[in-house]
Amino acid sequence: MLRTLLEKVTTGGVHSYADLCRELGVSESLLEQMLMDLERMGYLKRVGTDCERHCANCSLNGTCAISQGGQVWTLTEKGTTGR
């Protein structure tokens, strides 16, 4: 199933948790664990983890979607080639 997930993601575009859960037939908590596994294997990485440091003093940081608690992931080079 991890390969199916990775294949879905490598077709490109933006995917929401809800879409992926529906397509794979799993719960959101399991999807999250799969994403973490793919991160550990080096296929995915989290986006915006160093945001807080940069945005701490910005009066507009509330308008930034990253700061709204939702996690964003992107493919690594390894994830793009699928190897």
Partner 1 sequence: MTKEGLITLALAGQPNVGKSTVFNLLTGMNQHVGNWPGKTIEQKTGTFMYNGTRFKLVDLPGTYSLSANSPEEVIARNFIIKERPDVVVALLDAAILERSLYLVAELLPLPAPVVIALNMMDVAEQEGMRIEPHVLEAALGVPVIPMVATKNQGVRELIQAIDDVAHGRVKYHPRLPEIRADHRAVLEEIEALIDSYVPEPYPKSWVALKLLEGDSEITEMMRACTPDDVWEQVHAILMAHEDAIIDVAGGRYDWIRRMVRAAVTRPKAGQITRTDKLDRWATHPFWGMFILAGILGMVFWLTYTVGAPLQNLLDVYVVGTAANWMGALLVSAPTWVRGLVMDGIIGGVGTVITFLPILVIFFATMGLLEDIGYMARAAYAMDRFMHLMGLHGKSFLPLFLGFGCNVPAIMGARVIESQRARLLTIMIAPLVPCTARMVVVTFLAPIFFGQAATLVSWGLIGLSLTVLAVLGILINKIAFRGERAAFIMELPLYHVPNWRTIALLVWQRCLAFLKKAGTLILVMAVIVWALSYWPGGDVETSFLAQFGRLLEPVGALMGMSWRMIVALLTSFIAKENSLATMGVLYGAGNEEAKLAERLSGTLTPAAALAFLVVQMLFVPCVATVAAMWQETRSVRWTLFNVVLLLVVSFGVGILVYQVAGWLGG
* Residues found near partner 1 in the complex (CB under 8 A): 1-4, 6, 9-18, 20, 24-27, 29-30, 33-35, 37-38, 40-41, 43-44, 47-48, 50-51, 54-55, 58-66, 68-75, 77, 80, 82-83
| Dihedral over Cα of 20, 39, 46, 74: its sign | negative
N- to C-terminal Cα separation, the chain: 16
For the CB of residue 21, give the shortest distance to partner 1 in the complex, in Å: 10
Amino acid at 4: T
Inter-CA distances, 28 with 36, 52, 56, Å: 12, 25, 30
For the CB of residue 7, give the shortest distance to partner 1 in the complex, in Å: 10
For the CB of residue 60, give the shortest distance to partner 1 in the complex, in Å: 4
